[in-house]
Amino acid sequence: MADQVVRRLLNGAEIPVLGLGVWQVRDGRECERAVAAALENGYRLIDTAQAYRNEASVGRAIRSSGVPREEIFLTTKFYPGSRDPLAEAERSVERLGTEYVDLYLIHWPQGGPTWAWSGMEKASEAGLAKGIGISNFSAAELQELLKVSQIPPAVNQIQFSPFEYRRALVDACEDAGVIAQAYSPLGTGRHLDNPVVGRIASAVGRTPAQVLIRWAVQKGLSVIPKSTHPERIQENFAVTDFQLDADAISALDALDTTNQTPDALSRSDMWWS
């Protein structure tokens, strides 16, 4: 992937460090415009999910963009309220209008961390997914999965920001060769008004959003901020030409509210338990 900062996955594929997430983006014109703006501004990672109900719009925007499919890293996620990851992968690629996705994740570990994995492996073996992985899995759940997997997960997509600094979980992923990927790096906007973030942004001449995204990048994660505004989509991508110094990193680290947890979500957030 030319001109992209990437991380290499266990399967040898390269995943861009920066991408666009489309959680809570309405199906139709809103989603198509967001994806189009991202691709026009150089993004090559687009992240959707069966539960988002906007895969068809993502696919239309990709086809209309003029960017060759092989240059785009496309992720979708298995909704674990369904029972057959292989069948759902077939439906996803049909909605997306593509022959494959680059990454297929279990969206969360509903029903336990291992039961769906054989179906994920079947989706990979069928050529529907070049890589497979997980999302919202804790360090303990990752270890359970590794004990039974024939194909190890390539990615664990997790809620991650200075305020949700899941350092022990990221360390567990790295120890297993699994790339951690950050969703909600801006806290769905909640973190943008924090005075510490604002002070650092003023000092480096950047926006609060850019500081939060850059922090996650410097922690070694792939990051998928969500926006529907073209100017913010462009702004969120412009984070590779500056560095946060050690003092700024330490100040942001200190905002953590999770005690650098190995868990993927707080117990109250685990709606599937």
Active-site positions read: 52
Task: Name the DSSP class of 25.
Answer: P
Residues making up the chain, counted from first to last: 273
Which candidate, 261, 177, 264, places its Cα nearest to that of 220? 177
Q: Quickly count: other Cβ atoms within 10 Å of residue 99's Cβ.
A: 9
Q: How far apart are alpha carbons 232 and 33 in whole angstroms?
A: 13
Cβ contact 124:86 at 8 Å: no
Q: What residues form DSSP beta bridges with 136?
A: none
Cβ contact 252:244 at 8 Å: yes
Which candidate, 19, 1, 45, 7, places its Cα nearest to that of 220? 7
Q: How far apart are alpha carbons 44 and 18 in whole angstroms?
A: 8
Q: How far apart are alpha carbons 167 and 154 in whole angstroms?
A: 18
The two tokens of residue 134 are: 């997980």
